[in-house]
Chains A and B, each alone.
Chain A
């Protein structure tokens, strides 16, 4: 392609990519002839107008049929002079490397210029709930400019940019003239993985983080331990994983594994919120921490089985305090998920000591005392805590997971002034025949009776992939592209994205793009991708 044009890139910061082939005027409609400059090679199908969607749909997107071709040999990213971020900005340096090979899969090196200027630095920080992820992207003749307030916004913009580039039948790269103004609808767009019911190898988690970034998810909710196993290797209490993991060496996450996950996520603008669910869902904890769980009684004698954490003894609280202290130290996010769901009271009730304790305290069942240890950080808890307890700190985020009547729960919780996360309609571990992504897509998180103020308290939602029937063998195809439906609901303007039929071709294309990027995303329906999955 002998047509030249300088595409330059400004990411609030300015990304300057020079020498992209020139913009030739291709007409709208299929099979239009290219005009002049894009020469011989480019005859019939090449200038077929390719509508390259972006998933999730940007808030404002204007595309024209004008397109310019990009030359991988000449394309490059650079930091602008006025940018607060310069070479050495870990997040963006790594992002450029990543996106170069995503955009130009057939090339390993490029030369040229990328200019990038960041007003606010923060390259070594972590994304948080207040991170500004907005960006503006303008691809026009001669230059492309990407503006964002933070590096996290720059990452989102780079992702959109990468989805705009396409290849024609001869392998040339093109990008259409485009204007995008974009920002997320919800600040919290999460995905839950469960590493307790089945152990997920590190690379499965890292791969999931990659795919999350492609869909603009920004929170990895790591349901790291539960009844079946305790794979988190604690420095304070190594026996927890020594005795509570499926295997003390092969089925654990070491401190360095955890670091790797956190850093991999940070590089993609993703927060890692760990969940240490208690007082229920703690069977595996009991193996490495004798005396922690409540001994259940049967007919006046201990039955040999154990129930939830024993709330009547001081050692419990000391243990919890130390463990939580470690967790807060290891995981940088300002949120910790404390679970609190599905506590079975039967065992507590069977235990005479617990009954005595309850009498003494006057109420006993309430776990507020334990919760008070968690208060230094904002916590997220499952809805049960709201449903069964009266006193909950105002800044606690409640997560709705029970499938039916979640709208009513949204009303009640927001009325009580709590911030809320919705995951009930997005339990995508529940599978069924056919295109169930459409159900996820139809969810309207703010469609409940309440005031505008109440609606604002819905800070986002989460896709949950519980692990009863999922491990490394089937996780990825079960997750993608089904999770993409919620990704768009949480990012995009709802009014523009309610029609699933309109979304279908864009999602189909995005699924093929995921495949091309090495994500084992399953098909939506009959058809094919140019690059099929190459594994097993």
Chain B
């Protein structure tokens, strides 16, 4: 905006405002606060007619026809978050003026608004938003769609030259392209303090992500505090008090996520990636042998002992009560067979079962005995021929032969989500968000029925080099690229246009307190204040 005031060095002004990279877009000079929705809605019509909103008089209310009312805690909470004076809007009222737009009516249409429910894979997140005088109307089947619409509404509001909140006459009809739009955070390689997780749930909601894939434990540490087996975190966490998630922490994460329409899918990866489990649960892991004697090191979960299964049954019983989502991620990746091979008892067991030397059969044996409710697994479990329940979601993570894998998994009739192209822990110099943006999840050869089985994707931020110090700027706005790919229409692929919108969107995140890193040279009107 400031730049527009000065017309003389136009090229420079625009270049600075929009970043230097896209010289081609100089012609389309953009006002700094021009609407920049992210992710882009499916259908969007906007006119130049602008209405004023006054922080003093404008309010978000339940529509008369709505099935949700003031007793709907989830929406009441959301209204407060999206009120103009809330932290999500840091606009300061400069002038007193009459509002053109006095209210946003939120109209939940289905009989059960699901105020106290949890979002699920089947949740309808669609909404319609109509901005007109004197009232704007947000219409959605349930509270989840209403949440998405509220976020969009908040992104439509902009400040004019005089600091007044404006919103243009707009009609939006929106729904997600994919049902599963996830972020994976890894709290085992480094412990992530609760507030980092909560802040990122907030950022997820701004980007319309709806699944928090919580890779909560792994080889390095076991921060999940189990009621049934408290020794797991007492002995397996980096520190038994400061580096754990207590039951109330977990509850808070789940509730905070629910309030934002985000599912929490915990991952308890077995039988590999379980070193830290062994500290608090003796005899759970396979003793590795060196020659004919135990070497003192341990491998994957010991699949030949009944005690392992008894433990897993009890443990996962707890997990399915603690985490309300219909899905648990069981991992199953990167099982190192060498330790199993070295162990004479396991060799004997293999012979008894007639598995020969095919250790994937042993893995299969293990997985089948630990199946609980709905679950997700990493692709190896499918690759190794484990018999899976029909509703299993297979997560494709290996970069090589990704399309082939998608083809195979869907041909076998399984639903799948894609994370291979979106390993955000791999960093490089420059604008790598463009690579994430250009991915087309359905580009693999297959029938329409097969393509329908791809239910979404996940951006993964593994924790080897990431902790509270650098997680948030490393994740945002790079994950935003994935967010738009998973929400918006397939045809939304213009990188230049995305760049302009994303620059604004990242400034919006910064303004809302999320330290999202810059895309390129430039500035935000309100720079990051933390540090």
Contacts and interface: CB of A to CB of B under 8 A. Distances in A.
Interface stretch (A253-261, A339-347, A470-478): A470-478
B337 to A, nearest CB: 23
Interface centre among B12, B242, B426, B466 (most CB of A within 10 A): B12
Given A243-B6, A246-B523, A472-B528, A523 B469 contact: yes
Given A228-B522, A433-B426, A532 B191 contact: yes
A201 B466 CA distance: 24
A535 B428 contact: no
A469 B191 contact: no
A58 B235 CA distance: 37
Contacts of B133: none
Contact of B9 (A287, A467, A520): A287
B336 to A, nearest CB: 17
Interface centre among B6, B190, B243, B514 (most CB of A within 10 A): B190
B531 interface: yes
B191 A477 contact: no
A523 B429 contact: no
B527 A201 contact: yes
Nearest to B474: A474
A40 interface: no
A283 interface: yes
B20 A527 contact: no
Contacts of A433: 425-428, 465
Given A287-B12, A526-B464, A198 B193 contact: no
B6 A467 contact: no
A357 interface: no
A28 interface: no
Nearest to A200: B527
A246 B16 CA distance: 8
B464 A469 contact: no
Given A229-B16, A473-B528, A523 B472 contact: no
Main secondary structure of the interface of B (DSSP, over half): loop
Contact of A434 (B9, B465, B468): B465
Contacts of B196: 536
A327 B12 CA distance: 26
A231 to B, nearest CB: 10
B239 interface: yes
Interface in A477-511: 477-478
Contacts of B469: 476-477, 515, 520-523, 533
A532 B527 contact: no
A469 B430 contact: yes
B347 to A, nearest CB: 32
A286 to B, nearest CB: 7
A229 B530 contact: no
B324 interface: no
A533 B6 CA distance: 43
Interface string B510-531: 1001111111111101011111
A473 B12 CA distance: 25
A523 B527 contact: no
Interface string A234-257: 000000000100110011000000
B528 A471 contact: yes
A472 B220 contact: no
B11 interface: yes
A474 B463 contact: no
Given A247-B2, A469-B430, A474-B473, A535 B468 contact: yes
Given A203-B531, A474-B473, A474-B474, A198 B523 contact: yes
Contact of A522 (B199, B470, B513, B516): B470
Contacts of A304: 11
Contacts of B62: none
B516 A473 contact: yes
B526 to A, nearest CB: 8
A199 B12 contact: no
Nearest to A206: B531
A528 B470 CA distance: 14
A106 to B, nearest CB: 16
A200 to B, nearest CB: 9
A523 B12 contact: no
A201 B429 CA distance: 23
Interface string B402-441: 0000000000000000000000011111100000000000
Interface centre among A304, A471, A473, A523 (most CB of B within 10 A): A473
Given A434-B465, A467-B521, A536-B472, A528 B243 contact: yes
Interface in B170-200: 189-191, 193, 195-196, 199
B427 to A, nearest CB: 5
A530 B510 CA distance: 29
A514 to B, nearest CB: 9
Interface string B482-519: 00000000000000000000000000001001111111
A109 interface: no
Contacts of B426: 433
A464 to B, nearest CB: 13
A431 interface: yes
B190 A527 contact: yes
Contacts of B531: 201, 203-204, 207, 472, 476, 520, 535
Contacts of A201: 527-529, 531
A93 to B, nearest CB: 26
B379 interface: no
Contacts of B9: 286-287
A526 B192 CA distance: 12
A267 B517 CA distance: 31
Nearest to A290: B8
Interface centre among B9, B189, B428 (most CB of A within 10 A): B9
Interface in A194-216: 197-199, 201, 203-204, 207
B333 to A, nearest CB: 17
A227 B472 CA distance: 29
A472 B527 CA distance: 8
B467 interface: yes
Interface centre among B12, B429, B465, B527 (most CB of A within 10 A): B527
Contacts of B11: 304-305
B85 to A, nearest CB: 22
A523 B523 contact: no
B441 to A, nearest CB: 23
B518 A473 contact: yes
Interface string B444-472: 00000000000000000001111111101
B214 interface: no
A536 B515 contact: yes
B343 to A, nearest CB: 26
A283 B520 CA distance: 17
Given A228-B16, A432-B428, A527-B190, A532 B473 contact: no
B509 to A, nearest CB: 9
Nearest to B17: A246
Contacts of B530: 472, 535-536
A325 interface: no
Nearest to B16: A228
B207 interface: no
B359 interface: no
Given A286-B9, A468-B521, 14 more contacts: A433-B428, A433-B465, A470-B517, A473-B528, A474-B517, A477-B470, A515-B469, A523-B469, A527-B220, A528-B221, A533-B193, A536-B468, A536-B472, A536-B530
11 contacts: A198-B521, A247-B2, A430-B429, A433-B427, A467-B521, A468-B521, A472-B530, A474-B470, A523-B466, A533-B468, A535-B468
Interface of A: 197-199, 201, 203-204, 207, 228-229, 243, 246-247, 250-251, 283-284, 286-287, 304-305, 429-434, 467-474, 476-478, 515, 520-528, 530, 532-536
Please give me the 4 A-B residue pairs with the lowest Cβ-Cβ distance, nearest first: A477-B470, A474-B473, A473-B515, A246-B523
Interface of B: 2, 6, 9, 11-12, 16, 20, 189-191, 193, 195-196, 199, 220-221, 238-239, 242-243, 425-430, 463-470, 472-474, 510, 513-523, 525, 527-531
